[in-house]
Amino acid sequence: MSDWAELVVTAGDPVLDTAFMAEMVRQMRAIDSYGTWDNAGSHEILDPFVMTKERKREVPIIGDPDELTIARIKAWYNALSAQIEVATGMMAVPLVNLTHEGFGRAIIAVGKLIVSDRNLRDVHRFGFKSLDHMEEEATKIVGAAAALIEAHRDVAGL
């Protein structure tokens, strides 16, 4: 499950009960074609997204992302897109383009409208300080995207 021996996300964390975290778990389970996480709890599935200072120290400053890290990044943007769809009723599509060195760009489009645009670098160190921080970041991105769609619904509808 986790890349680290000790989990930092606990089973009773109330953040696990939010709609976004439920979507993150759905996205991670969807990419688990071998059933690795079938018996894992939500906290175990989401634990690798938390990059504490201690964990960050274990990851080299320069490095190429592995397939699991890339899968987590794609799951993050897929979950954001799904939540944007829930908030607006319009289909959101993520596009993640990464080089083998971990640099690239992630955008989320609704119709012809780009509602989220992030430059990505050092993705081998992708993660959040805490599960709360991850939830806050998602709420901020989804809220900004929904406001942009509302302001430009004509473009989003194309």
In a domain, 9, yes or no: no
What is the value of pTM for the model shown? 0.91
Q: What percent of the chain has pLDDT over 90?
A: 66
The pair of three-digit structure tokens given for residue 78, joined into one six-digit string: 């897929």
Q: Which of 58-62, 66-70, 78-82 has the highest mean pLDDT?
A: 78-82
Q: What percent of the chain has pLDDT over 70?
A: 97
In a domain, 1, yes or no: no
CATH number of domain containing 26: 1.10.3100.20
In a domain, 122, yes or no: yes
* pLDDT range class, residue 3, cuts 50, 70, 90: low
pLDDT at 4: 56
In a domain, 4, yes or no: no
In a domain, 2, yes or no: no
> Is residue 6's pLDDT more than 70?
yes
In a domain, 98, yes or no: yes
- Bridge partners (DSSP) of residue 114 are 109
**Side-chain half-sphere of 79: how many Cα atoms within 13 Å?**
26
In a domain, 64, yes or no: yes
What is the per-residue pLDDT across 125-135, written as a single tens digit (0 to 9) for each? 899 999 999 99
In a domain, 8, yes or no: no
What is the per-residue pLDDT across 108-123, written as a single tens digit (0 to 9) for each? 999 999 999 999 998 8
Look at 92 and 11; give whichever has higher pLDDT.
92
Query: What's the whole-number mean pLDDT along residues 130-141?
Result: 96
Cα-based angle 135, 46, 11 (whole degrees, multiple of 5): 95
Range of the structural domain that residue 41 is part of = 14-156
Number of compact structural domains in the chain: 1
